[in-house]
Amino acid sequence: MPYYQMRCNLCIPERNKHTVIVDEDKSIIPESNAPTVPGDMTERGCAFAGARGVVGGPIVDVIHMIHAPVGCGYYTWGTRRHLGDGYNWAMPGVLENEANHRRHCYTTAMTEQDIVFGGMEKLKNALLEAFKINPGASAAIIYMTCSTALIGDDIENVAKEVSKIVGKPVFACASPGFCGVSQSKGHHEFNFQFYKWLLKYREEHPEVCLKEEEKTPYDVNLIGDYNIDWDLVTIVPLFEKIGVRVLNVFTGNSRFMNLLKLPDAKLNIVHCQRSATYIAELIRQGFDIPFIRVSLFGIEQTAKALRDTAEWFGDEKMKKRAEEVIEEETEAIRPAIEWYRERLAGKRIAIYVGAPRVWHWPKVMEELGMEVVACMTTFGHKEDYEKIVQRVKPGTLIIDNPNEFEIEEMIETCKPDLFLTGLKEKYLVRKFGVPTLNSHSYEAGPYAGFRGLVNFARDIYQALYAPVWRLAKEEF
Amino acid sequence: MINNIINTVKHIPIEGITYKQLKVEKKPLTPEYVPPPPELVPAENRSVCIDPSRTCMPLGAMWATLGVHRAIPFVQGAQGCTTYVRYTFARIFREPTLIANASFHEDAAVFGGRKNLIRGVRNLVCRYQPDLIAIVTTCSSEVIGDDIPSFLADALDVMEEEMGPEVRDLVKFVIVNTPSFAGSHVEGYNRASREFLKTLAKKTGQTTEDIYFIPGMMMPGDIKELKHIFELMDISYHILFDISDTLDCPLVGMPQSIPCYPPGGTRVEEFIRAGDAKAIFALSPDAGSAGAKWLERRYKVPAFVQTMPIGVKNTDNFIKKLAEVSGRGIPERLRWERGILLDAMADTLHYTMMKRVAICGDPDFVAGATRFVCELGMIPTYILIGTKSRTAYQTIKEVCDEYGYEPVIMNGSDQFEWEYALKHDIPDVIVGHSRCVSISKEIQVPLVRFGFPVYDRVGYQREPIVGYRGGERFLARIVNAILDYHYPDDRVHQ
């Protein structure tokens, strides 16, 4: 019996093939990327969230136009902390309080009448007005949602029209909430549609490509990092120090016109391998630009990323630089990490995040002396689970797309000391007296890179050692 | 490309990289400020809505349902319709919420959500044994034209076959139609208030002394304050959609059994007996009056729609009406509390008098707060009613006429227009929700947080603003904000 039977699933056997216990030869993985069981209290989001909230959202200097009734637009402010440094002016001499992509929400706020008669005219006007109101925007991205997809609005046509009028690029992303089985479909849609659109735009506007004389032999793109809580601050300088030039980040703190130069790099370095390998693969096929996969969490994995990069370039000087940087960085954080390792050793961890972090992190937990007892992903695919089972011990519980009830049972049976999870689940599990950590937006990041690891360890320590848990257990 | 902290922090202490060390330089996107074309400032001249102060209709219906004991909203739509709302609730209340979803994928968009509803409701009943399921529709199910009553009938047949006929009595179902293109979260709550009563309320003919209340989207602290008032007045009360103990729960450790329902919330039985009530009060005209009025029409239960009891006069009106309807007097203790509020107002009048205040939020909150700030001698300047409301507009108009002020009232506009006005005519204080924090920082004016949503500070969901005691707390918030921002430290004490 390869699958693990959870008690809470006795009456929904469809869920059984999504729960497994890792076996000795690591041959079993759960079924994944499958339709959600309706009414199972899933934690999944929608394809719109994947396109707008995850992949498109971090682009700083564009108008993110949500073509929808007001709610989908409002949730511009409901996403994770993908920060950026491009600001508009609030008034003469005063910059706005939040970066452009997080300060404002632009939506067509479709009404009943618009739904009946179609929203294309409204969308067109909305974009033209938004460009006038926000002259700092270098482009616009239109996001389609359930309602505007169902009424059949042709957003691509509107994008073309508006682009022609304002002379700035407008990209239309059709990724309504109901498409696919999770937000993963939204990542996929954004990647594919953006790439296709970008090819055409570069062809029509060759001036946006990186000029030959501006290219260097060491140009790379960092693909699939969304600058959660300023992760880029701990990542990008590492690469710069070993001598590569980070041309682009797809899409953390990125600028739209710069993203058009994605195919002008020599190498793509892919971090989030669920939401963005697509575009790296497309660029590989279309431009013969290879990509490497990296993990940028923890000492060993970050070191490996730098070594792999240097290795790919085959440059001896760079290889030497990489070793120096690794040495220097590891030294800088050693005292802090040792301090934490002493206190975290032996703790049992359950991890539930989107997908890749669930296999990026077991190694990190090991480095901090901890043990992973359960792994769950919201939208992992087969490859994600293959990596997860390789990186954890036999006996670990794996759940694909866990729902609320399964999480409760997991806590009861696996008894983790700490649960790395998202915002919705963290308050649930805390009620049971089990500490949690927001692993989507972090508590106080950055968590990536060498120095981010200290923040990560600190937040884990804080979660585990807060006196409240002890007080909660006392007889009263 | 970014400020390189690696070169500035040589040795990393165990505190890691703190926010203080993480200085990110702000980069302007244009060389200088470019004012928006004046004709595009008013929202009514635009197709684009920039920074709405309202969100989607299903949220309001989910909010209401979460105030019912062992009730679960079942959202007939795509997964985001549930997930985004759960994020919002998690931020406001710092509490978990049980909300189920039909998980619409492409097939549902093409063939309709019949299968999803039948399967989903069945799964929910069988795993969670709820007392009530509120089927909350969304944009997609409404556009597709899902026939929810017939789907539900089919679901009941399926469940009866599997679980026996008792299932029909064990779980109650309420359908709330909430297409977001037809209104905001406020209307979602309003519709839920009507549909719950319409579906559940009965009249036995035995009249009771029970008085019913629909609070609207008040916080747990506000509802607890209402209960305090009712207990002082010795009123036999029922609060519908009572989130006070479902969205504010203690940390208890691992429960005896899972799933774990919070012990609080309005009982289904209380909805059923509503037809026998002596009276029903809606304390938020835009979020709940539909329910109260329906009960009056259907079962002749007298309905009273009151401005949210914020401040002296609004609370007075409410208490007087309640004393009259219930036949109970106004207890001495309440007069005492009223006196405390008046005392606090007298003690702080030099801080509040003639201060110019801009207000932003949901209609019921804004209407209630406008009278209160007038009572404090403050001058309302720009008032944004996030969701268009005739009632709130009228109430604000009347208050301002009474006090002789002429604020600009933006009814159902967006924050872009309201903030533009604030930048050009800077107030002394802003009273609004958490999304007003940016304008507050930009024009360097203190923000007094209230209403929906407050998520960027802690404790606000527990601190009341309604009733006399809530008024005193609200006043303290306002005055302390003014003192923090506008008074040098050596001029604060007298």
Q: Which of A91, A332, A424 sits opposite B11 (nearest CB)?
A: A332
Chain B: closest CA distance from residue A26 (Å): 31
Domains of chain B by start residue, with CATH: 57-200 (3.40.50.1980), 211-247+262-331 (3.40.50.1980), 333-491 (3.40.50.1980)
Strand ranges (DSSP E) for A324-396?
348-353, 371-377
Q: What pLDDT band is residue B78 in, cutting at 50, 70 and 90? A: very high
Quote the pLDDT of residue B4: 56
Q: Is the pLDDT of residue B15 over 60?
A: yes
A397 and A450, same domain (yes or no): yes
Q: What is the mean pLDDT of residues B8-12?
A: 59
Under 8 Å CB pairs connecting chains A and B tally to 374
- Entry pTM: 0.97
Q: Which residue among A8, A18, A46, A448 is the active-site one? A: A46
Paired with A251 in beta bridges are: A225
- Nearest Cα to A77, choosing from B55, B229, B465? B55
Give the contacts of B230 (CB within 8 A, at least 6 positions apart). Answer: B211, B237
Residue of chain B nearest A334, judged by CA positions = B12
Q: pLDDT: is B76 or B257 the higher one? A: B76
Residue A427 lies in a domain: yes
Peptide bond into B453 cis (omega under 30): yes
- Beta strands B172-176 and B132-137 are parallel
Distance from C-alpha of A228 to C-alpha of A448, rounded to nearest angstrom: 9
| CATH number of the domain enclosing A250 | 3.40.50.1980
Q: Output helix, strand, coil percentages for chain B, rounded to the nearest 5.
A: 50, 15, 40
- Hey, is A270 helix, strand or coil? strand
**Best CA proximity match to B466, nearest among B245, B247, B230, B187:** B230
Mean pLDDT of the region B258-266: 88
> At B492, is the pLDDT very low, low, confident or very high (cuts 50, 70, 90)?
confident
Task: Single out the residue of B465, B69, B464, B434 nearest to residue B249, CA to CA.
Answer: B69
Residue B126 region, left (φ>0) first, then alpha (ψ -120 to 50), else beta?
Answer: alpha
User: In angstroms, rounded to a whole number, what is the distance separating the alpha carbons of residues A227 and A59?
Assistant: 10
Residue B142 pLDDT exceeds 70: yes
Of B215, B216, B196, B192, give the one whose Cα is nearest residue B267. Answer: B196
Nearest to B218 by CA among B429, B462, B455: B462
pLDDT-based confidence at B289, cuts 50/70/90? very high
B19 min Cα distance to partner chain A (Å): 8
Residue pLDDT, tens place only, B300-309: 999 999 999 9
Catalytically annotated residue among A187, A188, A271, A391: A187
pLDDT at residue number B434 = 97
Domain boundary among A154, A187, A204: A204
The reply to whether A187 belongs to the active site is yes
Distance of CA A292 to the CA centre of its chain: 18
Pair of tokens at residue B27: 């980069």
A386 within domain boundaries: yes
Inter-axis angle of helices B80-93 and B57-65, nearest 10: 60
Question: Per the structure, how many domains does chain A have?
Answer: 3
Q: Return all residues near B297 (Cβ < 8 A) that are at least 6 apart.
A: none
Chain B neighbors of A133, CB-CB under 8 A: 36-37, 40, 48, 50, 416
Residue A231 located in a structural domain: yes
List pLDDT tens digits, range B43-65: 999 999 999 999 999 999 999 99
Shortest CA distance from A248: residue in chain B: B1
> pLDDT tens across A270-329, in order?
999 999 999 999 999 999 999 999 999 999 999 999 999 999 999 999 999 999 999 999
* Residue where one domain finishes, among candidates A277, A294, A328: A328
Helix (H) or strand (E) holding A286: helix A277-287
Residue A182's pLDDT is what? Answer: 97
For residues A353 and A460, state if they share a domain.
yes
d(CA A45, CA A184): 9
- Does A27 reside within a domain? yes
Average pLDDT, rounded, for chain A: 96
Task: Please report the pLDDT score of residue B11 as a whole number.
Answer: 62
Return the HEC string of B178-221: CCHHHCEHHHHHHHHHHHHHHHHCCCCCCCCCCEEEECCCCCHH
pLDDT of B493 strictly over 90: no
C-alpha A471/C-alpha B281 separation (Å) is 42
Let me know whether A394 and A465 are in one domain: yes
Q: Is residue B207 predicted with pLDDT exceeding 90?
A: no
**Residue B27 sits at the chain A interface (C-beta within 8 Å):** yes
Statement: residue A154 has pLDDT above 70: yes
In A140-252, which residue ranges form alpha helices assigned H by DSSP? 146-150, 155-166, 183-204, 232-241
Separation of alpha carbons A207 and A260, rounded Å: 10
In the structure, what pLDDT confidence band is assigned to residue B3 with cuts at 50, 70 and 90? Answer: low
Tell me, yes or no, if A129 comes closer than 8 A to chain B by beta carbon: yes
pLDDT at A240 over 50: yes
Chain-centre distance for alpha carbon B476: 22
Residues A120 and A33 in one domain: no
The answer to whether position A1 is within a domain reads no
DSSP assignment letter at B68: B
The number of CA neighbours under 13 Å toward the Cβ of B372 is 34
Same domain, A342 and A305: no
Confidence band of B1 (pLDDT split at 50, 70, 90): very low
The pLDDT tens digits for A170-216 are 999 999 999 999 999 999 999 999 999 999 999 999 999 999 999 99
Mean pLDDT over A46-67 rounds to 97
pLDDT score, position B489: 87
Number of neighbours of residue B112 by Cβ within 10 angstroms: 17
Q: Which residue range(s) make up the domain with A134?
A: 47-204
Per residue in A342-382, pLDDT (tens digit) is 999 999 999 999 999 999 999 999 999 999 999 999 999 99
Backbone phi, psi, residue A451, to 5°: -75, -25
Q: Closest approach of chain A CAs to the CA of B144, in angstroms?
A: 7
- Reported as a pLDDT band with limits 50, 70 and 90, residue A43 is very high
Pairwise CA distance, residues B313 & B338, whole Å:
10
Percent of chain A with pLDDT over 70: 100
Q: Mean of the pLDDT values across residues B462-487?
A: 97
B407-437 pLDDT per residue, tens = 999 999 999 999 999 999 999 999 999 999 9
Q: How far apart are CA A68 and CA A147, in angstroms?
A: 7
CB within 8 Å: A107 and B48? yes
Do A115 and B143 lie within an 8 Å CB cutoff?
Answer: yes
pLDDT band at B9 (very low <50, low <70, confident <90, very high): low
CB A252 within 8 A of CB A268: no
Distance CA A299, CA A278 (A): 27
Summarised one tens digit per residue, pLDDT across range B331-384 is 999 999 999 999 999 999 999 999 999 999 999 999 999 999 999 999 999 999
> Please, what sign has the CA dihedral across residues B17, B23, B29, B33?
positive
Distances (CA, A) of A275 to A182, A208, A257, A356, B143: 12, 25, 21, 9, 30
The answer to whether A427 touches A309, Cβ cutoff 8 Å, is no
Residues A136 and A236 in one domain: no
Given a contact cutoff of 8 angstroms between Cβ atoms, the answer to whether A438 and A456 are in contact is no
Tell whether the model's pLDDT for residue B7 goes beyond 80.
no
Same-domain check for residues A460 and A394? yes
A276 and A404 both lie in a single domain = no
Choose among B50, B58, B442: nearest Cβ to A105: B50
| Residues across chain A | 476
Domain-embedded: residue A376: yes
Please check the confidence at residue B8 and state whether its pLDDT lies above 70: no
Q: Are residues A58 and A127 in the same domain?
A: yes
- What DSSP string describes B122-154? HHHHHHH--SEEEEEE-HHHHHHT--HHHHHHH
Same domain, A311 and A338: no
- Catalytically annotated residue among A8, A47, A49, A130: A49
Q: Which of A223, A280, A229, A222 is nearest to A246 (CA)?
A: A222
In angstroms, the CA B70 to CA B89 distance is 18
Using alpha carbons, select from A34, A53, A57 the residue that is nearest to residue A45.
A53
pLDDT at B490: 87
CA dist A172 → A140, A163, A190 (Å): 8, 11, 9
Domain match, A422 and A311 both: no
Residue A2 lies in a domain: no
Listed residues A270, A298, A328: the one ending a domain: A328
Average pLDDT, chain B: 95
By the 8 A CB rule, do B338 and B344 touch?
no
- Token pair belonging to B478: 């306002």
Do A264 and A283 lie in one domain? The reply is yes
